[in-house]
Amino acid sequence: MTDLLKEIQEGFANLDESGRMLPIKAMPAACPAWVFREGDRFGVAVECSEPLEISEGFAGASLRTVERVVGGQHRRFLRLESSIEWLRNEFGLICEHMISVGSGTAVRQALLADPLVWWQRWRHLLGNALIDRHGYDVLAELLALETLVIKGAAFEWSGPFGGVVDIKTPATDYEVKSTISRYGAMVNISGQFQLAASSGKPLQLLHLRFEPVDDGLSIDLVCDRLIALGVDAAMLEGALQRLGMEAGCSVRKEAYNLLEARSYTVDDSFPRITPASFMGGVLPAGVVQFEYRIDLSGLKSQQL
């Protein structure tokens, strides 16, 4: 065990939860690092520049930037942290790799120049079953909100909070689906209530088709446009945090072109499964949940 790893692991074991940061003695003066505990989180930190804003999470670990007061000064840090106590020694190995500068200070410079490069390497190494969360599904909901705001409609963005439908207005409910497939119009429906229009209001299904690009629409960009239209910034941020997309999260910067946006009226002629599809309005005994797919091709729609 290296002196650096031993010091990290001892810091995890001995620090209390007060948020105290201890300088790591095994680090050279030119590339300092700290070990910390803060509430149920523990990890290591290196100082970074002000513009850097990172918030990523995977498999019980997080890489994020935070501002803290150290030595009476406000400073910004890049932290690798976890809350899985029983794996803290194993987590220490990853922490050691992040802050180590055994091959020279250029390693630290490369880390701070683009922390996501280091992060992605570790994610792919540790996660053979890695499933990336893409931003276009949330981007679709935000663009739908923007359309409603421009029309002057009051709305409730209920999707991030587990609502049966994604968006509610006084007159209509909206379920939003999206894809980056250039062809076809298959959508996945979860359960018997998603298209049931249980509120008694008309229900619209919106389908948006995107293509990934280097410079285009992103979650952060559309949020800025919504805020400029008068939408509450705290509400948007709270909803995104509920979805695991904190400020600085790379998924919020993913860029897309909107290729197509269609609106479908979900009525008696629309193909769907609802409680009314079953005898007595209840699922067959033993069936607790189901999903199904609808092909929107050929169904009557209008441009959003």
pLDDT of the residue at 126: 65
pLDDT of the residue at 265: 93
pLDDT of the residue at 232: 94
* The Cα angle at residue 256 between residues 55 and 187, in degrees rounded to 5: 100
Residues 6+ apart with CB under 8 A from 59: 123, 126, 127
| Both structure tokens of 114 | 């683009």
Q: What is the pTM of this model?
A: 0.65
**Mean residue pLDDT across the chain:** 86
The pLDDT tens digits for 266-300 are 988 888 887 778 887 777 888 767 788 889 988 89
Across 232-243, average pLDDT: 89
The pLDDT tens digits for 148-197 are 999 999 999 988 877 778 999 999 999 999 999 888 888 888 777 778 76
DSSP three-state, residue 94: helix
Q: Are 210 and 260 in contact (CB under 8 A)?
A: no
Q: What is the CA radius of gyration of the chain?
A: 24
Instruction: Output the furthest CA–CA distance in the chain (Å, rounded).
Output: 74
CA distance 85 to 87: 5
CA distance 104 to 1: 20
**74: amino acid identity, one letter:** H
pLDDT of the residue at 244: 75
Indicate if the pLDDT at residue 147 is higher than 70.
yes
For the chain, first and last CA: distance in Å?
61
pLDDT of the residue at 173: 92
CA distance 22 to 44: 9
pLDDT of the residue at 234: 93
Across 255-274, average pLDDT: 91
The pLDDT tens digits for 90-131 are 888 889 999 998 777 888 998 999 898 888 888 776 654 334
pLDDT of the residue at 247: 82
CA distance 103 to 142: 45
Indicate if the pLDDT at residue 242 is higher than 50.
yes
